[in-house]
Amino acid sequence: MQSSHSPNDASHQGNSAPLKRAMSTRHLVMISLGGAIGTGLFLGSGEVIAQTGPVGAILSYFLGGVIAYMVMLCLGELAVHMPESGSFGAYAKRYIGPGTGYTITWLYWLTWSVTLGTEFTAAALLMQEWFPDSSMWMWTLIFGAFVFSLNMISTKWFAESEFWLALIKVITVVAFIVLGLMAIFGFIGYQGQETAPLFSNLTAQGWFPEGLFPIFTTMLIVNFAFSGTELIGVAAGETKDPAKNVPKAINTAIFRLLIFFVGTIVVVTCLLPHQEAGLGGDGVSSSPFVAVFQHIGIPYAEDVIRFVIITALLSAANSGLFAASRMMWSLSYKKQLPAVFSRVNARGIPYVAVIVTMIGGLPGLLSEQFAPETIFTNLLGIAAFTMVVVWMSICLSQFNFRRQWYKEGKTAKDLGFAAPLFPIVPILGFVFCFITCISMVFDPSMRISFFGCLAFIAVCYASYYTFYHNKS
Residue range 113-169, pLDDT digits in tens: 877 877 787 788 788 888 888 887 788 888 888 889 888 887 777 778 888 888 888
Residue 197 falls in which region: left (phi positive, over 0), alpha (psi -120 to 50) or beta? alpha
The neighbour count for residue 301, using CB atoms within 10 Å, is: 17
The neighbour count for residue 109, using CB atoms within 10 Å, is: 24
- pLDDT score at 284: 44
Bond preceding residue 423 cis, omega within 30 of 0:
yes
Q: Which residues of the chain have pLDDT under 50?
A: 1-17, 279-281, 283-285, 368
Nearest to 328 by CA among 363, 362, 355: 355
Nearest to 238 by CA among 323, 355, 320: 323
How far from chain centre, in Å, is Cα 442? Answer: 23
Q: What is the separation, in whole angstroms, between the first and last Cα of the chain?
A: 18
Q: What is the pTM of this model?
A: 0.83
Q: What are phi and psi of 410, to 5 degrees?
A: -95, 165
The neighbour count for residue 145, using CB atoms within 10 Å, is: 10
Give tens-digit pLDDT for 235-251. 776 677 777 777 888 88
Task: Say which CATH class 25-471 falls into.
Answer: mainly alpha
Residue 122 amino acid letter = A
- pLDDT score at 423: 93
Residue ranges in 408-472 assigned as alpha helix (H): 424-439, 447-467
* Strand partners of residue 239: 23
Residue 184 near residue 272 (C-beta atoms within 8 A): no
- pLDDT score at 397: 96
- pLDDT score at 393: 96
Residue 253 near residue 71 (C-beta atoms within 8 A): no
Residue 422 near residue 402 (C-beta atoms within 8 A): yes
**Under 8 Å CB-to-CB from 233, ≥6 apart: which residues?**
75, 78, 79, 87, 88, 246, 394
Nearest to 55 by CA among 294, 268, 279: 268
CA distances from 232 to 72, 75, 140, 174 (A): 9, 9, 27, 22
Q: Which residues in 215-234 are b (16+ Cβ under 10 Å) and which e?
A: bbbbbbbbbbbbbbbbbbbb
Give tens-digit pLDDT for 40-56. 677 677 778 877 888 88
